[in-house]
Amino acid sequence: MRLLLLNPNTCDGLTDLMLRVARGAVSPGTEIDPVTAPRGLPYIDTRAAATLAGGMVLEMPADRAAGMDDVIITAFGDRAFRPRVRCCPCRSSAWRRRPC
């Protein structure tokens, strides 16, 4: 299985952290391709920041999704948001310290 892991933040340190968490949760042999947002905000911690990052989340998989079995969007969840894709908010204690 090949997974595309999208970090809507511009922080490579967060992408690395998200990748470590994801690797601990997948089956052996699963390939994970991590991608950090090329522009935007280094950390998304407000509703306004999430709104700004939303467009980037929709653009990011466009040129990378070919050959992938699924896409994981790694970001804090908004409980009022009801996506049409599977969404798993990150609430691990590993997120308590910002790497950026």
Which among 62, 42, 66 has a CA at the least distance from the CA of 52? Answer: 42
Alpha-helix residue ranges (DSSP H) falling in the chain: 12-23, 47-59
pLDDT in tens, 53-77: 888 888 888 778 788 888 888 875 5
Cα 62 from Cα 14, distance rounded (Å): 21
Domains of the chain (ranges, CATH numbers) = 2-96 (3.40.50.12500)
Q: Is 79 left (phi over 0), alpha (psi -120 to 50) or beta?
A: alpha
pLDDT band at residue 41 using 50, 70 and 90 as cut-offs: confident
What is the value of pTM for the model shown?
A: 0.71
Within a 13 Å sphere around the CA of 98, how many CA atoms are in the beta-carbon half?
A: 9
What Rg value do the Cα atoms of the chain yield, rounded? 13
